[in-house]
Every structure is written in C-alpha cells, then in structure tokens.
Structure 1
C-alpha cells in the first residue's frame, strides 16, 4: 500500500488522520509558537533554497519555473536522502506536509508531495511483486 501524502497549512487544526506531521518550510510560520504547532519533525533543509524561495516570492507567474528549479534541487543526492528519511520516519502512517504559504496551490509542499510520492512508489511496487 502506498503511503498517502497530503498537504496542509500549518495554521489549520491538527487532526488524528494527519498521521506524521512534517513542517517543510525553511522559516518558522509567522504567529505560531513551537508549542502551539503540532508536528513530528521540521524538515527545513527539504524546503527550497533561500535563493529560490526569494526569487519565487509566491508569484504565480513564476510557478512553472519554480517547480522545475525546486525539483532539480530535490534530485540532489542529499535531498533524496532527506526525503527517504522523512518517508522512513513516517513508517506506515499518513504523511501531512505542513507549510505556511497562503496560496494552497502554488507552494513548495505541492512539489515536495509529488516528489515524495514518486520516490516512494518504486519501493512499494517492488514489495508487491515479491509478495505475489
């Protein structure tokens, strides 16, 4: 069974169905204390580089280029290792990627979720083949 990965604004209420909650912003969400945010781990190094984040500046017209650039960053060996660590830490739980951006469609968590799904998929397919 493939791990379900969802994204959610850090400001939304935590729910039991969230499973493993991973904050994926480089900067701490404004207005939230570390005590008030329910999260399992902060993967700030999986966030886009400071340069890419600054350039993107949540401008929708930059979205396509941002996605390509961020995917390139995530394909670096150290980033792939971090993504595998996140998947391993979650185990069989659902994964909820937490982000602070107001735009729910154009943010790094959308791209990271896609990359995590594709990274996790081959291992699950292989497990199915050996179990059959």
Structure 2
C-alpha cells in the first residue's frame, strides 16, 4: 500500500516506511523527527516546482510534466517500488494542499508501475 501524508502529521506505526519526497527540507522540521528517509532526487525539478507554485501551470500541466520527469529517470523512483512491495510506504510532503501535490502524483505513478508488475493497491492520501 502506498500512502501520502504531510510531514508535519504525527508519526504512526501504520506509516510503515516513511520517505520525504520534496526537493526542499520542510520548514521547522528537525531531521531527527522525520523517522524515515529523504529522497530529494525523486521530487519535481526546481524549475517545475517553481512554475507550479507561481501559477504558470495548473495541476494537470504539473502532473503531465512531472510524469515526464519520472519517466526520464526511473533510477530515482525505482527503489520506492521495492519498499512498496515489502509493506506500507508513506510518501511525505510539506505542502498544505492534500489533493494537488507531488506526493499524490508520485503515488499514482508508483501504483501504475506496480500494477504493470502484478496486483497492487490504490494510493491513500489524507490530511489531518
């Protein structure tokens, strides 16, 4: 199962493997509090992130371009597939928007890749 969760939400046992998938370290978050790993290379490029946050791209455009970046660099996200097949994988993000964020796009991408390899589960994204 692949889940998405804000990095500021409480750590739960049900999180399984926790991976921060943002390019920038979240404000006011200490590294020892992450209780997981940080894979900044799997995040959208700085140019794409900036274009989206400045309103140059809507979420659909952001999603298309981020998926193109993911397709071009499977070495960045492929290790996450292994974690997802071993149990729950929680993709952490810092943004306030729980629906339109890079973790959701990445979770759907990973689920599609898992489906190509066999039965998978749907990504679950939530906020508190």
Deviation track 1:14-60 (CA, whole Å, cap 9, x = no partner) reads: 11111111100000010001012221x21100100000001100749
Offset at 1:91?
A: 4.4
1:30 aligns with 2:30: no
Which of 85-94 and 110-119 deviates more? Answer: 85-94
Residues 58 and 106 in structure 1, CA contact (< 8 A), matched pair in contact too: no
Unaligned residue ranges in structure 1 (runs of 5+) = 126-132
1:17 aligns with 2:5: no
Offset at 1:90?
A: 4.7
RMSD (Å) for aligned C-alpha atoms: 1.7
Runs (4 or more) in structure 1 with deviation over 4 Å come to: 58-61
Offset at 1:82?
A: 2.3
Unaligned residue ranges in structure 2 (runs of 5+) = 120-128
Partner SS state of residue 87, structure 1: helix
TM-score (norm 1): 0.83
1:62 aligns with 2:62: no
